[in-house]
Amino acid sequence: MLKYGIEVEGGYARNIGFYQEKEKLQRTGRNVDISEGSDYSASLGHEFSASYYEEEVEFRSRCPIVDIEQHIQDWEDLMENIEFVSNPKNCGLHIHTSPNNTGWEDKKYQTFVYNLFFLLVPFAKFFKHRQQQNYCLGNGSFYKLVRFFTEEFLAENTKEGMIDRYKDLSNIDDDTKRFSPRSMIRLTTGKDTVEVRLFPSKIEFIKPLIKIIDFAYEQEEFLNASDLIMKNIVEILNLVGAGESIDDFKDYYNDWIK
């Protein structure tokens, strides 16, 4: 079993109080572990009215969450009540995850990160048109990352060694390139979590991303990387049991990519 921490960047209606709406939900008996902070990179740009929306906000889980289904429901209800909006050019959805009540076993960490990366590859292709920012695949750095996970990452036997290799890859990565190791998964020693950073901050994307993470964690062996790379997002969503989210991705495509 995993525990999770969710971060969502964006904005909300200035005339609605975040904590007042949160308290309304809590008065119904729910423990809404979501807080509000600042993130000055999370601009809404010209897509939304600056006079109507408070922007540059990051909402985050207040503590590691195990009851993820209820937590997702809290996100959906609270964000709807405050009229949450986001601009995928500048706003992201980040999910931290780690084992519940235990530390990472080296082999489990390796299979999880490896499988998670390749399950996410079709989404990197799907999101590559996000204003040609960090998700463009045509510069070679993405393929360097594929080689890293199939070669250097698998050559290590300890979690610390895998993270050190990842840090070396991140440090030499050219920031001017449109795809970096941190564009999909971020591995750090500080919080001992695996952070997924690929998805834009649509609340509807929290549930399918959690299902992808869970599916990757449940696998005892390495998945077939070549097979996953060739799949599209519909096939991946169906594989992990998130087929009900396909229409949300179609809507995103029609709104932001088409």
> What was the pLDDT predicted at 257?
79
The CATH number of the domain holding residue 69 is: 3.30.70
> What was the pLDDT predicted at 128?
63
Residue span of the structural domain in which 44 resides: 2-91
Of 59, 91, 123, which closes a domain? 91
> What was the pLDDT predicted at 113?
97
> 87 and 112 in one domain?
no
Q: Could you tell me if residue 200 is inside a domain? A: no
> 249 and 170 in one domain?
yes
| Most confident listed range (157-171, 177-191, 206-220) | 206-220
> 73 and 19 in one domain?
yes
Q: Could you tell me if residue 26 is inside a domain? A: yes
DSSP structure class, residue 193 = -
Query: Is the pTM higher than 0.75?
Result: yes
Q: What is the pLDDT of residues 4-25, one digit of tens each?
A: 999 999 999 999 999 999 999 9
> 77 and 53 in one domain?
yes
Nearest to 89 by CA among 129, 138, 141, 50: 129
Q: What is the pLDDT of residues 70-113, one digit of tens each?
A: 999 999 999 999 999 999 888 999 999 999 988 899 999 999 99
pLDDT: which is higher, 102 or 63: 63
Label residues 15-50 b or e (16+ Cβ within 10 Å = b): eeebeebbeebeeeeeebbbeeeebeebbbeeebee
Q: Could you tell me if residue 204 is inside a domain? A: no
